[in-house]
Amino acid sequence: MGSFTKPIVWREKERLDDRIADCLTIILRTRGCRWDSCYMCGYTNDAYPATRDELIQQIDMALEEGGAEVVKIFTSGSFFDDAEVPMEVRAYLRDRIRDMGAKKLIVESRPEFVEKERLDDFKGVNLEVGIGLETADDEIRELCINKGFSFEDFVRATETLKEMGFRAKCYLLLKPPFLSEREAIEDAVKSIKAVKNYADVVSLNLTNVQKGTLVEKLWRAKLYRPPWLWSAVEVLKKAKDVGVEILCDPVAAGKKRGPHNCGKCDADVSKAIREFSLTQDAKKLEDIKCECILKWGKVLELESYSRIPLL
Ligand SMILES: [Zn+2]
């Protein structure tokens, strides 16, 4: 078997019924997302047209790592798209996870694949399905992200999940291209309020610059900067008042292509964000300090006029 068909596997912590549990996270190498047109997404760079047998091999390899209370599967597309993960493969995974005694399974899917017939196989499983709504604003989702579905589509999918006793996770994107830093914060906060009644948990994803994307072209032309970590802190604090569980894993934090502050405080601020995410304790966000917060304040003030990143 070539290295292209090896899954990527790591262990991390996840929330399970208001406590912290061990999680086995698996990226299955599939043919990738069928839509593959979002301006920030370069995941199909890692796609591989895995056959049914290869996917089952990947699952076996990943689960050799041993058990965990939570198993999280990323396919960089849609777990419930039969073209990506065939029905038999999904059923195989369900059985393996049941046998190893996992208490929760987390997957992700575009809303058009969240259909009762595809979910029936998972009855009795503690299943959480993440949907990349990105923003509750249909105009921003269409013009700045090119996501190809509406808020209504998302609502319908969450209703299907709820009817079947599953949990809905909503991914929101902090700082799509073409928004200023302040607009990005406002959009995320508004979106959290809008999805509160539909999602059991919200995951705030901070935009990073992925290869081969429109976001990368804008970034190279100095027309885009990934969000400040201070912006994420601001959104998380405000989300706490909304009263919804909110997760945030600042991927590539501190790197040029990832969310970052001044360079000096990036490690501390992203650590605080991760601790908040696990504990949901807003105090974790209060003690972080750095003088660059003043620069960030200026950016919030001026970028809505300049329309280009200033710092
Ligand atoms: Zn700083």
Confidence of residue 1 (pLDDT cuts 50, 70, 90): very low
Separation in Å, CA 169 to CA 110, 192, 202, 292 = 12, 12, 6, 33
Taking alpha carbons only, the member of 40, 60, 38 closest to residue 50 is 60
Average of per-residue pLDDT across 158-182: 98
Domain count, the chain: 1
- Expressed in angstroms and rounded, the spacing between residue 263 Cα and the centre of ligand 1 is 6
Note the pLDDT of residue 3. 52
Report if residue 84 sits inside a domain.
Answer: yes
Q: What is the DSSP letter of 185?
A: H
Range of the domain at 74: 3-306
- Expressed in angstroms and rounded, the spacing between residue 275 Cα and the centre of ligand 1 is 18
Note the pLDDT of residue 311. 86
Average of per-residue pLDDT across 266-277: 97
Report if residue 105 sits inside a domain.
Answer: yes
Q: CA-CA distance, 173 to 135, in Å (whole number)?
A: 7
- Expressed in angstroms and rounded, the spacing between residue 233 Cα and the centre of ligand 1 is 13
Separation in Å, CA 140 to CA 57, 143, 200, 266, 275 = 40, 5, 23, 28, 30
Report if residue 281 sits inside a domain.
Answer: yes
Report if residue 34 sits inside a domain.
Answer: yes
- Expressed in angstroms and rounded, the spacing between residue 229 Cα and the centre of ligand 1 is 9
- Expressed in angstroms and rounded, the spacing between residue 138 Cα and the centre of ligand 1 is 34
- Expressed in angstroms and rounded, the spacing between residue 67 Cα and the centre of ligand 1 is 39
Report if residue 153 sits inside a domain.
Answer: yes
- Expressed in angstroms and rounded, the spacing between residue 249 Cα and the centre of ligand 1 is 19
Q: CA-CA distance, 229 to 233, in Å (whole number)?
A: 6
Report if residue 311 sits inside a domain.
Answer: no
Tokens standing for residue 120: 């029936």
Average of per-residue pLDDT across 216-232: 98
Residue that has been written with the tokens 């008042």 in this structure: 241
Identify the CATH number of the domain in which residue 129 sits. 3.20.20.70
- Expressed in angstroms and rounded, the spacing between residue 253 Cα and the centre of ligand 1 is 12
In this predicted structure, the answer to whether residue 261 has a pLDDT above a threshold of 90 is: yes
pLDDT digits (tens, 9 = 90+) for 50-82: 999 999 999 999 999 788 999 999 998 999 999
